[in-house]
Amino acid sequence: MNKTNPNQDKTVNTVTGASTIALWQRHDLCHAKEDWLAEEAPVALVYNGISHVVMMASPKDLELFALGFSLSEGIIDSPAEIYGMDVFPVCNGLEVQIELSSRRFMGLKERRRTLAGRTGCGVCGVEQLNDIGRPIAPLPFTQTFDLNNLDAALNQMRDYQPVGQLTGCTHAALWLNESGTIQDGKEDIGRHVALDKLLGARGRAGWHNGAVLVSSRASYEMVQKSAQCGVEILFAVSAATTLAVEVAQRCNLTLIGFSKPGRATVYTHPQRLKA
């Protein structure tokens, strides 16, 4: 059987975050055909010249990722505390150089920790287990959401996953306003990174009224990131974990899982919702 090398025809498309590659299908192992794969790259976030974290991510919307990560990890409270940002290709990956205000950089150095990529696990690389449950001020009860407006957003989620439509390999995070209209959506190979990108876009745009919808399960970290950024309502397409529910209950976040057309399971604080 004469098989060609599927990697010979690989091309790179960093604009979309996907590349084409020749590959074989089960029904025809003799002929390779071109198909799409999602790109994955190590992305280092460097604050004032010091590398803080390296994450595996889709190589697009990286400035929004850096901003959202900085907000959701409590490194900054406002986008105004970042004075500049540049993205550079380095060593088979990408580096986002971030210029923090002096006050915020001093605070970062005080609680410095080494993190590994968290595409799948939010605990990986955290030196202090206590940092998993870092204190977050309880959220106010200022937001409401009519569950009748959820289905339309769910049906449009794929529109915000262009790489996912090509590859079947990304998660999405959407910001919904009070009427259920999608204000923006971001995608990434990692659910946490997709959420950070969305939180960065939200922080830049200044949206406050609304809710987050993610295409994945709801982990404790996604709850914690959302609450840190003042998000009061989080919808997840899949289930929530026990720790996610515990954190949501403690910080007054309304957490909903199994968000599908005609269905929703409310884990915490249902008083924000209308049916």
- The amino acid sitting at 230 is G
| Residue 30: active-site member | no
Question: How many CB atoms are closer than 10 A to CB 181?
Answer: 13
Question: How many CB atoms are closer than 10 A to CB 107?
Answer: 15
Q: Which two tokens stand for residue 122?
A: 């939010």
**φ, ψ for residue 208 (rounded to 5)?**
-125, -40
Beta strand extents in 59-179 (DSSP E only): 82-90, 93-100, 145-146, 171-176
Distance (Å, whole) CA 126 – CA 53: 11
Give me the catalytic one of 30, 91, 121, 124: 121
Rg (CA), the chain: 20
Strand-by-strand arrangement of the 211-214 sheet: 182-188, 171-176, 211-214, 233-236, 254-260, 263-266
Degrees to nearest 5, angle at CA 72 with 248 and 271: 30
- The amino acid sitting at 28 is D
Degrees to nearest 5, angle at CA 56 with 94 and 73: 95
- The amino acid sitting at 26 is R
Q: Which residues are annotated as a binding site?
A: 258-263
Q: Which two tokens stand for residue 121?
A: 């696990």
SS3 255: strand
Distance (Å, whole) CA 222 – CA 171: 13
Catalytically active residues are: 121
